[in-house]
Amino acid sequence: MQTLVPIAIARKFSAAALTLALGGLLAACGGGGGGDASGPTIDPAQLKGRWVTAAGVAPATTAVVVPEANGTASAWLLAQDASRLVKLVVRSDSSANGKSYALGQANATGQAVTGQVNAALAASPKTIAFTGLNTGTLTQSDALATPAVQTEVQGNWSATLGGNAQTVQWSLAATGSMTGSSTTGCSYTGNVAAMASTAAYSVSFNESCADGSKTAFSGVGTLNVAKNGLTVVVTSADETRGTAVFFAK
């Protein structure tokens, strides 16, 4: 569970669009160079899961961490008020680096962030914290151990944004292929694929808008428990833009 507003999609979506309730959040895509900080050697794969701040802690944050094939892990941290998204790459030396996106600011550019992950994986419950990100300590709420099921995202999804002024609709086939459109004049083609190693979906798509802009995005998606809510968090290919969209079936 939880992002940014500044991308082609973000340009079309108002900040109010991101106030929809979070059902469960995201997971993973890697990239980026090494961080400045380093600490104890860790296995990033052991950080897999959904992590949340304790009740009453501000800012309330949800993180989804998924392992990558290159030995790193991707962490997506979303403020539960949809005001901020952070995408990080976590490495075996405990360093973490990536981009932070202010979702309530139209066309805001992602800002580089670096830090270190402090993990207490022998504790019960397990906890992690990211220095320098003002997210506090997060407790594991779900190990995301069960692989995602492709057919559970099949169907028609809609996100109503901006005080019901804007709508995005996606149609997902059984194969995961996606087509869609928005009332702001954008069209979408892409893919939403179940991950074999975790309860999340890899998301990639191209957006083409009436103003002539064309942007490629990638990120992750997660379903809520009822399987009728899909949270999608993505960044542009150059990671300058990012956003979160909350779909309902």
pTM value?
0.81
Over the stretch 107-154, which tens digit does the pLDDT of each residue have? Answer: 578 999 999 999 999 999 999 999 988 888 999 999 999 999 999 999
d(CA 206, CA 128): 34
Report the pLDDT value the prediction gives residue 165, as an integer from 0 to 100: 65
Report the pLDDT value the prediction gives residue 160, as an integer from 0 to 100: 82
Contacts of 201 (CB under 8 A, 6+ apart): 27, 148, 153, 192, 193, 194, 195, 220, 221, 222, 223
> Amino acid letter at 140?
Q
Task: Look at residues 63, 77, 78, 64 and name the one whose alpha carbon lies nearest to residue 19.
Answer: 78
Report the pLDDT value the prediction gives residue 37, as an integer from 0 to 100: 47
Task: Look at residues 57, 56, 201, 46 and name the one whose alpha carbon lies nearest to residue 117.
Answer: 46
- CB atoms < 10 A from the CB of 186, how many? 22
Q: Is the pLDDT of residue 19 over 60?
A: no
Q: Is the pLDDT of residue 62 over 60?
A: yes
